[in-house]
Amino acid sequence: MSEAAREKWDARYGADGYEPSEEPVPFLRERVGDLGSGSALCLAAGTGRNAVFLAERGFAVTAVDISPRGLAWACALAQRRGVEIEIVAADLLSYDLGTAAYDLITDFYFYEPDLFPAIGRAIKPGGRFVFQTFSVAQAAMSGGPSNRAFMVEQGDLLAAFADWRVRYFEDTVVEDQAVVRLIAEKR
């Protein structure tokens, strides 16, 4: 586990007065009806708002994040909402996602293209991958990441999923953030 990354996120989630959002990313809420059912893996799950939302809709959810503090928030939210989620504290760059293990994988605001092949192996045929993160257009806007390595070029994302059926794609501005959104189905 990357100690510096874990410490960074644990400090954020453990800061005095920190209260995480309990509402899922709006894109997930809007598109959940298109995602089927079954097992779901939430990558970079943070405080679990998306994982809990999917569990409330009947998915068997595994939430993976580098921060044990973030996952503690996720467990508390799941308990308050009366659902169960499995939590895994792990560095996604070294964590084995498995093979044909999930019907759905989500990734919100964690852009690591080296992870895409593992996502492809971990998702079942016919399964869906839901992704949203900052686009390179965010560099000209205030807020969000300042390092372009954390921003996606739409062509790079589409190329990474060229063998998949792209069910939804959008490069847009939402709530003063330039984002790229993708729902891709594994053939």
Amino acid at 98: G
| CA separation, residue 39 to residues 26, 95, 171 (Å) | 21, 18, 28
Beta pairing partners, 157: none
What does the pLDDT read at residue 1?
54
pLDDT in tens, the chain (187 residues): 589 999 999 999 999 999 999 999 999 999 999 899 999 999 999 999 999 999 999 999 999 999 999 999 999 999 999 999 999 999 999 999 999 999 999 999 999 999 999 999 999 999 999 999 999 999 999 888 889 999 999 999 999 999 999 999 999 999 899 999 999 999 9
Please state which of the four CATH numbers 3.30.70.2190, 3.30.700.30, 3.40.50.970, 3.40.50.150 is assigned to the domain occupying 3-185: 3.40.50.150
pTM over 0.85, yes/no:
yes
